[in-house]
Amino acid sequence: MTTQEQYAEGVFPIGTIVALKSHPFSENLSVVFGGDPQHVSPLMVVCEVVLNNKFTHDEHSGIELSNKHTHLYRCTWFSSKNYKFEEEWLSGRLLKKVCSTEGNVSLVNRSFVGANLALRTLQLESKKLKTSLNGDSSSGEFRKKLTAIMDFVSPIMQFSGTLKFESKEPTFDPKTQTRRRYVPSDLVKCKYYNPVSEKFSEYVLPVECLTLLPEVSNEKKELINWYVQSKALIAKIELLESENGTKKVIDSVLIPKRLVHKFGLFFLECFDCYSNNGTEIQIDSNHEQFQLLQIYNAFNPFSIVDGVINYTDFSEFELRKLLRFHNDDTKNISTIQNENSLFFRIRYRGASGTETLRIVRGCRFFSSDIKMPSDNNADERYFGYMEAYCHLRQANRNFRTDRIVSFEVLCSKKSDAAGES
Which H helix or E strand runs over 322?
Answer: helix 316-323
Alpha helix positions (H), 180-276: 218-230
Whether pLDDT at 198 is above 80: yes
Kindly calculate the radius of gyration of the chain based on its CA atoms and give it in whole angstroms. Answer: 30
Using one digit for the tens of pLDDT, what is the confidence trace for 324-373?
433 333 333 334 444 444 678 888 988 888 999 898 887 777 777 777 77
Provide the percentage of residues in the chain whose pLDDT is more than 90: 24
Report the pLDDT value the prediction gives residue 190, as an integer from 0 to 100: 93
End-to-end CA distance of the chain: 60
Calpha distance 141→237 (Å, rounded): 42
Report the pLDDT value the prediction gives residue 361, as an integer from 0 to 100: 83
CA proximity to 349, closest of 315, 382, 311, 376:
376
Residue 287, number of CB atoms within 10 A of its CB: 10
CA proximity to 75, closest of 12, 132, 28:
12
3-state helix, strand, coil in the chain (%, to 5): 10, 50, 40
Whether pLDDT at 382 is above 80: no
Residue type, 264: G
**What single DSSP character describes residue 11?**
P
Using one digit for the tens of pLDDT, what is the confidence trace for 28-75?
777 788 877 788 899 999 999 998 776 666 677 767 666 667 889 999
Highest mean pLDDT among 188-197, 320-329, 399-408: 188-197
Lowest mean pLDDT among 46-50, 134-138, 218-222, 315-319: 315-319
Whether pLDDT at 6 is above 70: no
Residues in the chain: 421
Mean pLDDT of the chain: 78
Report the pLDDT value the prediction gives residue 204, as an integer from 0 to 100: 95
Residue 286 contacts residue 280 (beta carbons within 8 Å): no
Report the pLDDT value the prediction gives residue 329, as an integer from 0 to 100: 35
pLDDT bin (cut points 50, 70, 90) of residue 411 is: low
Lowest mean pLDDT among 12-21, 107-116, 400-409: 107-116
- For the chain, domain boundaries: 4-212, 218-288, 295-419
Report the pLDDT value the prediction gives residue 312, as an integer from 0 to 100: 45
Residue 152 contacts residue 43 (beta carbons within 8 Å): yes
Residue 44 contacts residue 19 (beta carbons within 8 Å): yes
Residue 191 contacts residue 204 (beta carbons within 8 Å): no
